[in-house]
Structure 1
Amino acid sequence: MDPSPLDLVSVSTLLHINPSTKPTPQIPFISRGAMDPRISLWRSTTILCAIFLLHGASASRPHHHHSSSPTKAVKQQLETYIIHVRQPESGISSSLERESWYKSFFPKTLTSSSATESRMVYAYNKVIDGFAARLTTEEVESMKAKDGFLHAYPDKLLRLQTTRTPQFLGLSPNRGVWPDAGFGSGTIVGVLDGGIWPEHPSLDPRGMPPPPAKWKGICVDAGEDFNSSNCNNKLIGAQLFNAGAKAMLGEAAAEQPGLNSPRDMDGHGTHTATTATGGFVPHAEVLGNAEGTAVGMAPQAHLAIYKVCFGETCADSDILAALDQAVEDGVDVLSLSLGGESTRFFEDVVAIGGFTAVQKGIFMSCAAANSGPLHSTLVNEAPWVLTVGASTLDREIIADVKLGNGRIFIGESLFQPKFFKPTLLPLVYPGASGNLSAAQCAEGALDPSQVSGKVVFCERGGGIGRVQKGENVLQAGGVAMILMNDELNAFSLIADTHVLPASQVSFQDGDTMKAYINSTQYPTATILFKGTVFRDTASPAVAGFSSRGPSVESPGILKPDIIGPGVSILAGWPLNLSPSGLLNDTRRVVFNVISGTSMSTPHLSGLAALLKSTHPDWSPAALKSAMMTTANPYDTEGKPITDETQGPADIFATGAGHVNPTKATDPGLIYDLSAGDYIPYLCGLGYTEAQIQAIVRSHFKCSNQTSISEGDLNYPSISAVFSPTGPSSFTFKRTVTNVGAKYSTYEVEVVEPQGVKVEVKPKKLYFKKMNEKQTFEVVLCSYGAGSMPFSQGHIKWYSGSKYEVRSPIAIAFNE
């Protein structure tokens, strides 16, 4: 006798979803961070390139001008350009003088002040000498002949990429890092993202002191939707930068919600901001799971919001303007969970703005992107920013799958309705006929006569969000969903806020389930909801979506730098939004669980604020070094960190390892760098003087500098690329500064990468005082690695049992 199907009306009623209502189609790459549950991971190189091309086209979409000549029409089209210029030799003494200087670069055909005013988008001040303006290609070409012009490039779009994490990271309110750092008191974290929901309980100002006297920021008035009264001693500033977005959107700007307000319209900004600085909120949960006290990494830090993303539109020009303002306002840490594609640093606004931030002593943490597990997919590669990958927690939200043959498979889902009983139900695989759209449970591809009243087996992919697939199943009459991972993501599971009973399973287990379906005339299955489970498996593991190195723009610098919690992270959510982001989902939550390097980045930003509170005189490079050299390459079982295959993760996935806040506060030694130390490195990359000046804003000549290779930058990690036509050995210098014990001796431990001999000279370092510096050499000699593309090792300076200062070694073998 067949088991009774679950009544579809009861599911729809409990979820407040109308099964007959068609959802508005979701654009696959709208959301910020590929791991937003509304969109799927795009896993082929071809599709990845397509995303970049689509965004590039969107970024340069001009206003349309009618012309009888197609060539003339193209030349006359307006688009936003970012223009870098030199300051005049006499200098600039006022903002009016600066804007006048910028306007002098406009073509003579734009003679009236109203014409130049209408074309000007931003006049930058702090992070670059230059401006953003609406121009034709001919007008840009005419600017290049003017004295003082440096560089120009089109504006483009970037994409936006906890109850448990404090305990997992070893943070306790009673002892250690948190109380020692005053919970981040006195620091200001600036978040560039999609805005904020100011009424969220994580932003309760009670117990917060006023912001430091250096703070110059404001809270804008944006009508009834948002005004200065929304700010307080916790949320000390909220501004928006939308001129670039408006120029790109054109007439469509009027239809973009939230374009004229700092208020968060999609949840991403509130989630990242409260991850970094959210206060203690007891009894937090999402749909009855992940219960506990929600708190950010630096709960006593002040928060400054810079809204630069409006739906899918995060314009370079707006980001640059926000960085310009944040530097002026006096933030201590900048958190950017956004990115585009790998590009040259002199056309990378995050790199350009980050350089000036470092000059001003501001730490910047950036998302590596969500295009893993393929190599060379990360972004935000500049060595002066911290590039953050994503890893798992020791928490799983279990939704196991039981088949009719009795076998049980591990799965995850955040939504675990009480009404769903563990009774076996008919199981169907819509893709059994070979229809790929049906296999991926695309909208309109499911036949209600085949899926109604059944558990539906779906495959990931097709540019369809994981949660969207569940809604498609529900619309077609299905009562539950089993979601099989794609091959690249393998065992990397995510707990989503599904709209029906569901479970995400691994690719391998999914294959076994498909074989079962094919083996019997009446396959059945059910889902066994087990709630929140801690320490069931070794953790952390690198998330399958987390982008990997090597860096494309600078392969001699190991990226990502570090990994941090980024899978199934609980943090604040706008009180008017559904957890799934689907229009037909009327559930409302105070907190939400989502995944991405967008989530790992604010963890590191908040931890940087803690370190800044403990060591206010440390440079951004020193803070970064402390995090990297104390990062842990091992999981909770003492084994090397794994990846989505359940095998050891390579160094281009983990960087230095998983952040360890307790050790980072007292690292023993640091690798320090000033902003000026990066200039010889930039010369070594082969950039022209004009290109470098666009980044560093100073007059110099590479011919007067001693250029250095990437490997000679005083970086906390070591990276080298060997090729048949290149040298067979490299010698790199490093200088460490003693920030540990006054009198101390350090000895070196070397783990050699396969195919490379490593020698460190000297093998001991002696220190007699604090802040004393010592220099050593690392010699890398290749003796052949066969067919291996990469290998890895490390050097570790240790002083007794107290200090271990570890620098990973990444080796690439190019054919």
Structure 2
Amino acid sequence: MLGISMPASPSDEHGHGTHTASTAAGAFVEGANVLGNANGTAVGMAPFAHLAIYKVCGQSHCANTDLLAGIESAIQDGVDVMSISIGSPARPNFYTRAIDIGTFKAMQKGIFISCSAGNSGPYKSTVSNSAPWCLTVGASTMDRSIRTTVMLGNGEFFNGESLFQPKDFQSNKPLPIIFPSANGDTTMCINGSLDGIDVKGKAVLCERGRIGDIAKGLVVKNAGGAAMILMNTEDEGFSLNARAHVLPASQVSFLDGSKIKTYINSTLSPTAMILFKGTILGTSPSPMVISFSSRGPNLPSPGILKPDIIGPGVSVLAGWPLNVGSFPILGSTFNIISGTSMSCPHLSGIAALLKSSHPDWSPAAIKSAIMTTADVLDNQGKQIVDERLTPAELFATGAGHVNPSRANDPGLIYDLTPDDYLAYLCGLRYTDNQVRIVAGSNASCSIVTSIREGELNYPSFSVTLGPSQTFNRTVTNVGNAMSAYSVEIIKPQGVDVSVKPDALHFSSMNEKLTYSVTFSPMESGSGGSIGFAEGSLKWVSSSSSTKYEVRSPISVTFDNSK
């Protein structure tokens, strides 16, 4: 009828929701693959969990009213875990963000909340969904590559990735290779930029940026190009992910792309071949933090380290709607895509498993178990690296990479109640009205004992140091009834860290003990007006039967200007 809008369809018109839902709780499906790659049995993290799915976004927009309505519906339906693979730019407060407001009420109802950290990395202070009542999840790679190899006419070769690996492409046939370097538009292969340039039958080197990778492939294909080599930006470094390109292609690192450029510019008749290697397992280093994963510090609350954790978010295979997408994905029941949206449901499913195993644990207890048992080393036994292949900062990894098995038996947990979060909000010096927007109409800081950010019983430490600061933490014994722990400290450079007491002795399950940590700047300081340093605090059990290591990362920001 004219003048009457039809209700929005509940169908997934984008594919994002289907992919994330099946990652969290998809059933076992044998023979899953995408374009013949990553073949095997697909399964979500918690395959026997029940799914309740709420559509809160259209094709290109997620309205705040819809977000809040979806969260409210999930609360009313009695869900145990909420998975939110939605983000928005970081803001300096919590009371203007719908997700932070809605999820506070979910936390009050005992619901565990997992949120994506955002895809605005590798730049600092970009992390989204950073409220302490949410588990904020960054993205890491896995040890699987959908491998391609670019072979140059001079014998040099460079490994890359592509999901589209057509069998009818003559990989062993050298193609003339061109880098259309007249200006920034042509180097990035944006729409119309290749007009008048002879790329027919050639491999085209394109820089990433300005438009999407698939769109660049269409530009090259429509101009007559036979293949495309995508070169990372310098900020993207060595980060690679498999995409369903529309023509034979390979994404390569910034360093390798620079070498290919040099070859093209120094050779009279440069050529290249793209060899398709299919699925390669056991790649290293893995995991590594992908470049797009948003980073801390936490803009609205620098005293809370974010992200909390990283999990698989690169080239993830999961379910896909048949009628969504275009060539070569259209009609596929699975797809491989990347983002912190993909890492978030991994953690949501893990949280569901932990909730099933420990039904009496609070959302904060589950978060603590995940964070304090996280891996900090990769599959080579070295510190997890970032897109530059240098040791990743805590602002990228949080506590580290999730280890579900260890999270099921953490030994000690850092617990929190809704009242603790209210005291924390009041400590941010919000007005009563601002606190009520987040915490509800009955909240009043005049009757609440506020606490500093660092006093929240969080499983990590984020400290801004001018003078010395002391914080208290309380741990609950969920391991062996009779147990003893001693503290091990890796001090951040330029910081003295003291813990009292330095040993904890438990005599029963669920017993709580409190310790204090004092952070003091050393005379040498940070060597500048503002700098960062990292360390860790770990409680190690002395039991011979079960060895527990309960680790908390320490991030220190020096501010000598104060």
Normalised by the length of structure 2, the TM-score is: 0.96
Instruction: Return the letter of the residue paired with 1:651.
Output: L
Distance in 1, matches of 2:329 and 2:114, equals 34
Q: How does 1:454-493 map to 2 (within 5 A)?
A: 454-462=202-210, 464-493=211-240
Match of 2:493, as an amino acid?
Answer: Q
Matching residue of 1:364: 113
Note if contact 1:391-1:564 (Cα within 8 Å) is conserved in structure 2.
Answer: yes
1:261, CA displacement in angstroms?
Answer: 1.7
State whether structure 2 residue 533 is matched by structure 1 residue 791: yes
Residue 742 (1) aligns with residue 487 (2): no
1:495 maps to amino acid:
A
1:298-338 Cα deviation digits (max 9, x unpaired): 00000001000001110011110111111011000000000
**Residues 84-129 of structure 1: CA distance to partner in whole angstroms, max 9, x if unpaired?**
xxxxxxxxxxxxxxxxxxxxxxxxxxxxxxxxxxxxxxxxxxxxxx
| Residue in 1 that maps onto 2:398 | 655
Could you tell me whether the CA contact under 8 Å between 2:306 and 2:398 is conserved in 1?
Answer: yes
CA offsets, 1:254-279, max 9 Å, x none? 7xxxx622110110000000000000
The one-character-per-residue Cα deviations of 1:371-396 (angstroms, maximum 9, x if unpaired) are 00001001111100100000000001
Q: Give the Cα separation in 1 of the matches to 2:177 and 2:338.
A: 29
- Counterpart of 2:357 (choices 614, 632, 652) is 614
Matched AA of 1:786: G
How big is the shift at 1:423? Answer: 1.4
Q: Indicate the residue corresponding to 1:59 in structure 2.
A: none
Residues 361, 563 of structure 1: CA spacing in aligned structure 2 closer, same or farther, 3 A cutoff?
same
Partner of 2:458: 715
Q: 1:498 aligns with which of 242, 245, 257?
A: 245
How far apart are residue 565 of structure 1 and its match? 0.2
Distance (whole Å) between structure 2 residues aligned to residue 729 and residue 528 of structure 1 = 58
* 1:810 equivalenced with 2:555 (yes/no): yes
Q: Which digits, 9 at most, give the CA deviation of each residue in 1:435-477, with x for residues without a partner?
A: 1111101111113651001001100011x10111111100100
Matches within 5 A, 1:279-358: 279-343=27-91, 344-358=93-107
- Report the Cα offset of residue 356 of structure 1: 1.0
Identity percentage over the alignment?
59
Identify the residue that residue 554 of structure 1 maps to in structure 2: 301
What amino acid sits opposite 2:150 in the alignment?
V
- Write the distance in 2 (CA, Å) between the matches of 1:587 and 1:734: 52
* 1:444 aligns with one of 181, 192, 195: 192
State the match for 1:779 in structure 2. Answer: 518
Summarize deviations over 1:562-618 as a string: whole Å, max 9, x none.
00000000000001123xxx4x65742110000000000000000000000001111
Output the CA distance in 2 between the equivalents of 1:399 and 1:759: 51
Decide whether aligned partners of structure 1 residues 594 and 700 sit closer, same or farther in structure 2, where only a CA change above 3 A counts.
Answer: closer
Q: Which amino acid aligns with 1:391?
A: S
- What is the CA-CA distance between 1:637 and the residue it aligns to? 1.2
Q: Mark the runs of 5 or more structure 2 residues left unpaired by the alignment.
A: none
Name the counterpart of 1:381.
130
CA spacing shift, 1:449–1:750, aligned 2, 3 Å: closer
Note closer, same or farther for the CA distance 1:809–1:262 as it changes in structure 2 (3 Å cut).
same
Shift in CA distance, 286/700, structure 1 to aligned 2, threshold 3 Å: closer
Amino acid at match of 1:365: S
In the TM superposition, residue 704 of structure 1 has moved relative to its aligned partner by 3.0
Q: SS at 2:244's partner residue? A: coil
Residue type of the alignment partner of 2:277: K
Shift in CA distance, 450/355, structure 1 to aligned 2, threshold 3 Å: same
For residues 586 and 275 of structure 1, the distance between their equivalents in structure 2, rounded to whole angstroms, comes to 18
- Farther-moved stretch of structure 1 (276-285 vs 448-457): 448-457
In structure 2, the residue matched to 1:26 is: none
Q: Which residue matches 2:323?
A: 576
The amino acid across from 1:812 in the alignment is T
Equivalents in 2 of 1:348, 1:675: separation in Å?
19
3-state SS, counterpart of residue 376 of structure 2? coil
Return the structure number with greater helix share. 1
Equivalent of 1:430, from 180, 185, 206? 180
Aligned residues: 551
- SS of residue matched to 2:405: helix
Alpha carbons 2:322, 2:330 under 8 Å: kept: no
Alignment check: 8 A CA contact 1:448 1:477 kept: no
Q: Distance in 1 between matches of 2:240 and 2:410?
A: 34
Alpha-carbon offset, residue 482 of structure 1? 0.4
Partners of 1:505 and 1:728 lie apart in 2 by 46
Preserved contact between residue 244 and residue 329 of structure 2 (Cα < 8 Å): no
SS at match of 1:628: helix
**Which residue matches 1:403?**
152
1:209 is matched with: none
1:454/1:630 CA distance change after superposition, 3 Å: same
Match of 1:545 in 2: 292
| CA shift for structure 1 position 813 | 2.1
Task: Look up the equivalent residue of 2:268 and give its one-letter code.
Answer: Q
Gaps of 5+ in 1: 1-250
Asked if the contact 1:437–1:445 (Cα under 8 Å) also holds between the matched residues in 2, the reply is yes
Q: Distance in 2 between matches of 1:680 and 1:449?
A: 64
> How far apart, CA to CA, are the structure 1 residues paired with 2:456 and 2:137?
20
Pair 1:514–1:253, CA change in 2 (3 A): farther
SS at match of 2:214: helix
Determine helix, strand or coil for the equivalent of 1:402. Answer: strand
Residue in structure 2 matched with residue 705 of structure 1 by the alignment: 448
For 1:253 and 1:439, how far apart are their aligned partners in 2? 44
Distance across 2 between alignment mates of 1:315 and 1:449: 43
SS of corresponding position for 2:74: helix
1:672 and 2:422 are equivalent in the alignment = no
Q: For residue 499 of structure 1, what is the amino acid of its counterpart?
A: V
2:258 aligns to what?
511
State TM-score, norm by structure 1.
0.66
Q: Is the contact made by 2:138 and 2:294 (CA closer than 8 Å) also made in structure 1?
A: yes
Between the aligned partners of 2:108 and 2:329, the Cα distance in structure 1 is: 47
AA paired with 1:757?
Answer: D
**Residue 18 of structure 2 is aligned to residue 276 of structure 1:** no
Amino acid at match of 2:504: L
Contact 2:436 2:444 in 1 (8 A): no
State the Cα distance separating 1:536 from its structure 2 match.
Answer: 2.3
Equivalent position SS for 1:443: coil
Residue 165 of structure 2 corresponds to residue 420 of structure 1: no
Rounded to whole Å, the distance in 2 between the matches of 1:465 and 1:477 is 19
Distance change in 2, residues 1:757/1:296 (3 Å): same
Q: 1:758 aligns with which of 494, 497, 504?
A: 497
Distance in 2 separating the partners of 1:341 and 1:449: 38
* In 2: Cα distance, 1:698 partner to 1:253 partner: 34
